[in-house]
Amino acid sequence: MASAAEQLAANINFASIGKAEELKKRIWFTLGALIVYRLGTYIPLPGIDPGAFEANFSGQKQGVLELFNMFSGGAVQRMAIFALNIMPYISASIIIQLMTSVVPSLETLKKEGEAGRKVINQYTRYLTVILAAFQAYGISVGLEGQAGVVTDPGLFFRISCVITLMGGTMFLMWLGEQITSRGIGNGSSLIIFAGIIAAFPAAIGHTLELGRQGAISTVFILAVVVVAIATIAFIVFMERAQRRVLITYPKRQVGNRMFEGQTSFLPLKLNTAGVIPPIFASSLLLLPTTVANFTQMNGNGGGWLGTVTSFLAHGRPAYIVLYLFLIVFFAFFYTAVVFNPVETADNLRKHGGFVPGVRPGERTAQFIDAILTRITVLGAAYLAIICLLPELLISYAALPFYFGGTSLLIVVSVTMDTVAQVHGHLQAQQYESLIKKSRLRGKKR
């Protein structure tokens, strides 16, 4: 059976997509939804002067706005209706996920299966609306504080700005859910992925232009390409890496039937936290720069914020050290939130499974926690390397921001997840064709 499955997987290739009608429909739906998203990033917010805002935005390119602009595919720089992107929904999902480990009622809902998941998703949507309204109002006030950006400041502009930006976020949330259910891959991740990918051509063109002008040498550009390819290969290797804990299930009798003992594995990912640690670390470090830029634009002096901003500038030792510390901290913190060794050990005990040589229950939880701590050290080191290496290139070689480690992590992770889903659909289509052939042969006999 195993050899047949391996042979079937080996025969699967992307040429089989032409025969899988359902998969083709899903792919076309996903592409169409992403095109709609990209068109929305070019529709400006009503009541503003896009040219004046873009001129002001260029003076804040070292702040957290640049990070949001990267995730939104340039919508923040153009102040489009999708400027908030799907980030309020992502933030709400993370907040609800953190609260499930603190609030007993949410923890109970999490254990109720599909019904509980639907209720939690509804809470996530409500929190998304609140976060989007709060952020949209802050943007409207910030836009009015910039001279020449808003054509007619006042209450009407603030209301229209909040409704438009909230509507854009809710539409993207709905679009992401539609991609997840009717398309290929995770909808929210693909929307962020499309925004980052859209900026790649301009970033590559800027790098080549620097080479043409002699600002950086051709050898250095080739070295960057080699480093980028090696970094992508390293990300793929580390994202697929896992520590498998051997689980044994003893013999058991159900009615008159005796089931033999089985062995399986509990896979523990090396990078359980995913891309959350670098995103949180970048946001916290870029926040003082953003606040200082807004303060200066409103006519106030830099003050102590200006000192902090210069102290935490890109490439400065303090920035690199704090960035490294925050990545490691959030890697351990978020891993502790998303994976509960005690709950895992209890589930194993309920189903009769145990780790050979380890007593079920508390000892198993301690054993799993020790393994998770060790592999999280490696995972945090991996994230630090991936994020700090491009950071040094950005600081000392004037490379575009889009070569950052966070964007590479997101792009590679989403690509791997989407390709895995495509392979899953192709495998299902191959199995269905084999079942049909076997039924036809049975009828002929």
246, β-bridge pairs: 265
Provide the whole-model pTM.
Answer: 0.78
CA distances from 415 to 170, 177, 195, 343 (A): 25, 18, 14, 31
Alpha-carbon gap, residue 246 to 267, rounded angstroms: 9
Domains of the chain listed by start with CATH number:
23-214 (1.10.3370.10), 217-419 (1.10.3370.10)
Please state, as a whole number, how many other Cβ atoms lie within 10 Å of the Cβ of residue 179.
24
- The alpha carbon of residue 10 and the mean position of all alpha carbons in its chain are separated, in whole angstroms, by 30
- The alpha carbon of residue 247 and the mean position of all alpha carbons in its chain are separated, in whole angstroms, by 31
Alpha-carbon gap, residue 259 to 147, rounded angstroms: 76
| pLDDT digits 0-9 by tens, 139-178 | 888 788 777 788 888 888 889 989 999 999 999 999 998 9
pLDDT top residue among 67 and 155: 155
| pLDDT digits 0-9 by tens, 340-369 | 888 888 888 887 788 888 888 888 888 888
| pLDDT digits 0-9 by tens, 397-438 | 555 555 567 788 888 888 888 888 888 877 777 776 667 666
